[in-house]
Every structure is written in structure tokens, then in C-alpha cells.
């Protein structure tokens, strides 16, 4: 799985035209690069967080001490170490320490339900866990270390191999259980090198906003930039969730690069209006045509990045400029093929399934050899092993080659969806629903409740009620997998061959009736915003926002709309801390009586050049 080029060894007629350029050779391991940065710039800021900062010398000392502590507790090369930490400077310290100990990290998001964390910890076969509170139920005998743990001893040997595992990140699984994706160290090094060679990363050190959850593979592309000498600003949860505060943070620290989903950009664009935003790395979900056009016409410094977890974050990129949207071209070292069901290349303009090959291809799904064999298949267009293992990953994405050979996303061949940056297998949610008491059958789909707001919607048959089912799901699934609402039906609609007819499912129960009319007072205006954002027919003063299907992005939209309509200074906590609509409305009224407050001043930066 190296980056050595292979297309030259294959007759030109057999190689799909979308094969990407090759790199000059294997990328340098990121810890080797980090050691060089520490030696050359020990006093430069490496990590900035709400809890303080670390320069490269301090980062080196802390990661070495924690790595020795891991070794003292039995961690060895090839082991897996769970990391269960909040978004502070402790987080990158822990991730780097795991690498320095020779192991792979397994992110365990503190926001996930305990049941899911316990499954992941057991399934991954953890040798140790790094946690500030030890709240993760790990198997007996697994030591739990604090992030400030330290041990004396000599410097650890540098025995890393490109095929050693770097991390195991869990994604939604169609069989009803999350599945881990195991990615090698060489793949992460190749990703950073390819983004440098493509011009996505500037040669000089930048200031990178770490915005993605550590359990989301996009985080790797963000935090790992420490190893090339960039300063990483760890954006804490409170500021991630509040566009105004996030915009102020970007200005305060002079953030030059920010990775985010198009959905998140929609909320951040207004606070950044009138300033020159950082270079935007957009991924996690397709860029809507309206967003592409707006950014392109404004001359924004923005990139569209595409890639599945199984191919190490990013594989295809394009500047967001000119007509679009499109995926662009493969990164250096990546080979992208559009193939039919017989693995034959399709003609330009014809839709085919996208397969990816090159140094970023993951090892597979640990503990699932059959699933791995079905998705990671032999690459018939190269002469293995010269091409880094000769495997390619079947993405399940449909695409075509458009003008100039650019890849254009068309859709999926299965029922996987991307929602607010998360990859979701609808089958996993259906399995979880069907397993609950009182449910005979279940179906889950995506419904657009308002412009730009796609939401998971569940349908069940049986005796259970929607509120009870949602409560049980929240105890078992992460928030991004819990439907916004559940509709109870007498029977699920079926196709002639007896399968669920998803197109025939009715509107969610909350939207089947017309929205209630009301006056124009403040109470009604707040209620109307709730109805609009949540896509419900009516709301009552005692209704809870989260119980109605609200989530973090929906909460941001509520606060954003009320700021704009009422000219009041609201914070996200006003909504999330409120017990019900009545309490939140009281907060809005107090903010309105206090008068409008000026938004934080944002400092414009000079235009960046590629």
C-alpha cells in the first residue's frame, strides 16, 4: 500500500481515463515529520485550545511522557488504544502519544451513548483507554490512563511501518451494528503529502481550525497537520455550535484553513459576511448548486473534497470556481475508476460506480472478513504488487466524467446517505427500531422538512408509541442516527415483490396537517420559527425542542432566524438549556428587552494565494 505509480505498467487502452497522477514515492511518516518540526521550531505554537496552548517543544514532551506511560501499561506496536476526551489540548496530545507508542487510536466520542461506547470498546479489542473521567465501560483488565499520565524512561524506538495501523474509526453499519475501518499509517502520511502536492495545503505553516468530531474521519485531515508544522486550533463544543462565537474565534486566532460541511457553512456565512473567510475545505456531503454558485461568484478561497473513510478521508478535490458542482480530479497517487457491473470502464458522460485505489486504501473492516472482501477488491488495471497492493475500494457512489474529465457525483447505488456530514446506513437505524419492544416492522428514510433541512424519519408498525421509541433510540444510538420523528402506521407500503416501497411512505405525522395559524406577537414568532425549523404542524409551550426531533444544526437555525428577525443577541445555550418552548421564549423576551448587542468584530485577512 505505497504510493508507487502503477498506471505506466498497464496498456493505455485498459486504463480508465480518470486515473490520477502518481506521487514520487512513499510519503514520510508523520511522526518523523513532527520530530523535524520540533527540532527546527520548538517555540512555535502547535496547539491552541480553550484550555490554553502548547508549543512544539511542550507538545513533544507531553506526548513522549504519555506514550511511555502507555508502554508501561502494556501497549505495544499494533495494539489499539481508546481515546475518550473532550475537545481540549489533551486530545491531540493523546492521539500523538498513541502513535508514538506504536499503537492505533480508537476515538470514543463522549457525546455517544454509553451502550454504543461499550460496544466499540469491546469490538475494537482495546489494550488501554485514555480518558479524563473513566466513564467508558471497558472490558475487565483494560487500564484507564488520564491524559496527563507520564512515565520515565528512554525515548521510544521508532519502529513504525507504513502498514502499521494509525486508527480505527467506526462508521454506521447496514447490518445494525457500527463497523470499524482500520487505516494504516502510510495512508495518513500519503494523504498529507497529496494535499500538499495538489496545492490544497500551502507550503508555509498555517493556522488550522479543528472543527470535525474526532469520531468523524475528516478530523484526521485537520489535526494531523500539526505534524507538518501547522498550528491547530481545537474548536471547543460551545463555539463549534454557535456561528457568531465561531466566527469570532476564527478572527481571534487568525485561522487560515477551516474544514466544514456545506450545512455548517450555511450557518456560518452570515457571521462572516463582509470579511475574508479562511480557506474553506468543504466535505462530508455534496455541495449544493446554490452554495457552489455563491462561493464561486464571490471568489471565495474554497475547495470541494470527496472521499470515503475507507480511502483515508480525501481522494478527489476541486476548487469551488466556475460551473459546478463537481468533485474534480483525483489527488496525486489516487486512481479513480468509473466502472459498470462487470468492472469495465464506462464511456465519458455515462454513469458508473466509482472505485478508488492507491496508497489511501484502508486495511478493511476488522473482524468482518466477508464484508472486507466484498468492498475491497482486486484492481484489474494494475500489475500488483508494484501498485501498492493492487486493491481498490468500491465506494457505492455513482458518478460520471464530465467536461475536462472532471468527476460529477450522481447518487448512491444503495441506501447509504450523508446527513450533516455523517455517513449513515439507514439499515442500521431500521435494525435498532425493529429490535425494540412493540415494533413489528420498521422503515427509515430521509425527508426534507424545510428548505435545506433533510431529516431522518422513521416509520413503524406495532403497538409502541413514537415518544417511547425515540427515548429508547436515544439511549442506544448517537444523536445523528436518531430520527427526527417516528410515524406509526397500520402497515408499511410494499412493492409488488414484497419489499418496502419507500417512495410510497406518507408524509411524517407532524406534517400531514396544515400548520396552525397564529398572531404576530413574540410568543407566536418564536413558535413559528420552531415549527418551520422542526417541520412540525404545531408546538405547545410545554414542548421540548430535542423531544420534537431537534438537533444541533436545527438549534443553530432557530437561534439564527430569531437573531435576524427580532434583532436580538441570543446564544445557543438559551435554547439547549431551556426545559421547553415557554422557557426559551422567556429567554428571547429578556434578550429583546435588553436591546440588540453588536456582534463581535471580525478581522479581514489578506487574500490567500495558491
Copy the grid coordinates of residue 443.
Answer: 422503515
Write out the DSSP string of 503-560. GGPPPPGGGSSPPPP--SSHHHHHHHHHHHHHT-S---TT--TGGGT--HHHHHHHHH
Side-chain-side CA neighbours of residue 503 (13 Å) = 1
Q: CA torsion sign, 78 to 79 to 84 to 85?
A: negative
Question: For the segment 18-57, what is each residue's pLDDT rounded down to a tens digit?
Answer: 444 444 456 899 999 999 999 999 999 999 999 999 999 9
The pLDDT assigned to 19 comes to 44
Distance (Å, whole) CA 381 – CA 391 = 10
Low-confidence ranges of the chain (pLDDT < 50): 1-24, 386-388, 451, 512-519, 597-610
3-state secondary structure of 487: strand
The pLDDT assigned to 579 comes to 87
Question: For the segment 544-581, what is each residue's pLDDT rounded down to a tens digit?
Answer: 888 887 877 778 778 877 877 787 878 777 887 888 89
Q: To which residue does cell 421547553 refer?
A: 580
| Cis amide leading into 385 (omega within 30) | yes
Copy the grid coordinates of residue 170.
Answer: 467506526
Please report the domains of the chain, with CATH numbers, ordered by start residue. 18-411 (3.40.50.12780), 422-511 (3.30.300.30), 522-594 (1.10.1200.10)
Secondary structure E strands in 69-194: 80-84, 104-107, 128-131, 144-145, 165-171, 179-184
* CB of 30 closer than 8 Å to CB of 188: yes
For residue 243, give the nearest of 545, 599, 608 by alpha carbon: 599
3-state secondary structure of 357: strand
Write out the DSSP string of 285-352. SPPPHHHHHHHHHHT--EEEEE--GGG-S-SEEEES-SS----BEEPTT-EEEEE-TTSPBPPTTS-E
Q: What angle in degrees, to the nearest 10, is found between the helix axes of 90-100 and 56-72? A: 60
Residue 459 φ then ψ, to 5°: -135, 135
The pLDDT assigned to 452 comes to 55
| Cis amide leading into 325 (omega within 30) | yes
The pLDDT assigned to 498 comes to 65
Read off the pTM.
Answer: 0.79
3-state secondary structure of 254: coil
Cβ within 8 Å of residue 152, ≥6 positions away = 68
C-alpha angle 601/602/608, rounded to 5°? 165
Write out the DSSP string of 175-213. TSS-EEEEEEHHHHHHHHHHHHHHTSS-SS--EEEE-S-
Distance (Å, whole) CA 312 – CA 362 = 7
3-state secondary structure of 397: strand
Q: To which residue does cell 460541511 refer?
A: 261
Amino acid at each position: 500500500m505505497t504510493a508507487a505509480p502503477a498506471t505506466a505498467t498497464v496498456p493505455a487502452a485498459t486504463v480508465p481515463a480518470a486515473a490520477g497522477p502518481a506521487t514520487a514515492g512513499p510519503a514520510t511518516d508523520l511522526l518523523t515529520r513532527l520530530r523535524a518540526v520540533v527540532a527546527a521550531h520548538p517555540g512555535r505554537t502547535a496547539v491552541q485550545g480553550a484550555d490554553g496552548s502548547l508549543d512544539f517543544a511542550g507538545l513533544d514532551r507531553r506526548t513522549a511522557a504519555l506514550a511511555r506511560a502507555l508502554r508501561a501499561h502494556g501497549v505495544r506496536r499494533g495494539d489499539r488504544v481508546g481515546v475518550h476526551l473532550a475537545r481540549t489540548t489533551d486530545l491531540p496530545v493523546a492521539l500523538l502519544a498513541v502513535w508514538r507508542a506504536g499503537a492505533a487510536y480508537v476515538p470514543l466520542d463522549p457525546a455517544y451513548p454509553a451502550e454504543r461506547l461499550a460496544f466499540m470498546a469491546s469490538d475494537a479489542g482495546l489494550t488501554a483507554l485514555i480518558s479524563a473521567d473513566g466513564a467508558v465501560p471497558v472490558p475487565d483488565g483494560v487500564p484507564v490512563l488520564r491524559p496527563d499520565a507520564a512515565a520515565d524512561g528512554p525515548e521510544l524506538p521508532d519502529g513504525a511501518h507504513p502498514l502499521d495501523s494509525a486508527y480505527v474509526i467506526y462508521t454506521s453499519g447496514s447490518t445494525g451494528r457500527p463497523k470499524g475501518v482500520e487505516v494504516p499509517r502510510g495512508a495518513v502520511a500519503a494523504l498529507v503529502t497529496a494535499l500538499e502536492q495538489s496545492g490544497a495545503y500551502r507550503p508555509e505553516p498555517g493556522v488550522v481550525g479543528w472543527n470535525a468530531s474526532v469520531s468523524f474521519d475528516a478530523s484526521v485531515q485537520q489535526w494531523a497537520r500539526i505534524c507538518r508544522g501547522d498550528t491547530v486550533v481545537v474548536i471547543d463544543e460551545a463555539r463549534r455550535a454557535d456561528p457568531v462565537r465561531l466566527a469570532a474565534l476564527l478572527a481571534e486566532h487568525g485561522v487560515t484553513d477551516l474544514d466544514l460541511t456545506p450545512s455548517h457553512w450555511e450557518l456560518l456565512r452570515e457571521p462572516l459576511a463582509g470579511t475574508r473567510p479562511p480557506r474553506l475545505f468543504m466535505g462530508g456531503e455534496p455541495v449544493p448548486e446554490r452554495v457552489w454558485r455563491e462561493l464561486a461568484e464571490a471568489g471565495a478561497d474554497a475547495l470541494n473534497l470527496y472521499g470515503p473513510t475507507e480511502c483515508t478521508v480525501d481522494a478527489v478535490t476541486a476548487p469551488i470556481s466556475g460551473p459546478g458542482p463537481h468533485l474534480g480530479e483525483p489527488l496525486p497517487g489516487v486512481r479513480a475508476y468509473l466502472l459498470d457491473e462487470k468492472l469495465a470502464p464506462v464511456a465519458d458522460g455515462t454513469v458508473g460506480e466509482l472505485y478508488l485505489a492507491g496508497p489511501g486504501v484502508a486495511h478493511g473492516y476488522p473482524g468482518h472478513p466477508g464484508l472486507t472482501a466484498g468492498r475491497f477488491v482486486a484492481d484489474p488495471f494494475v500489475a500488483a504488487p508494484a501498485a501498492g497492493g493492487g486493491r481498490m475500494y468500491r465506494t457505492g457512489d455513482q458518478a460520471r466524467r464530465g467536461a475536462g474529465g472532471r468527476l460529477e457525483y450522481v447518487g448512491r447505488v444503495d441506501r447509504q446517505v450523508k446527513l450533516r456530514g455523517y455517513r449513515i446506513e439507514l439499515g442500521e437505524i431500521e435494525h435498532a427500531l425493529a429490535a425494540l419492544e412493540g415494533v413489528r416492522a420498521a422503515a427509515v428514510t430521509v425527508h426534507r422538512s424545510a428548505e435545506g433541512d433533510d431529516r431522518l424519519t422513521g416509520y413503524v408498525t406495532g403497538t409502541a408509541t413514537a415518544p417511547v421509541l425515540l427515548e429508547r433510540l436515544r439511549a442506544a444510538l448517537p444523536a445523528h442516527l436518531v430520527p427526527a420523528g417516528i410515524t406509526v402506521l397500520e402497515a408499511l407500503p410494499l412493492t409488488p415483490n414484497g419489499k418496502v416501497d419507500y417512495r410510497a411512505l406518507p408524509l411524517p405525522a407532524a406534517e400531514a396537517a396544515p400548520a396552525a395559524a397564529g398572531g404576530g406577537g413574540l410568543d407566536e414568532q418564536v413558535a413559528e420559527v420552531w415549527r418551520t425549523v422542526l417541520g412540525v404542524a404545531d408546538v405547545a409551550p410545554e414542548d421540548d425542542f430535542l423531544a420534537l426531533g431537534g438537533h444541533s444544526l436545527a438549534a443553530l437555525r432557530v437561534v439564527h432566524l430569531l437573531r435576524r428577525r427580532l434583532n436580538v443577541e441570543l446564544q445557543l445555550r438559551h435554547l439547549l438549556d431551556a426545559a421547553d418552548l415557554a422557557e426559551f421564549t422567556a429567554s428571547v423576551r429578556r434578550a429583546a428587552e435588553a436591546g440588540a448587542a453588536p456582534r463581535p468584530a471580525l478581522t479581514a485577512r489578506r487574500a490567500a494565494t495558491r
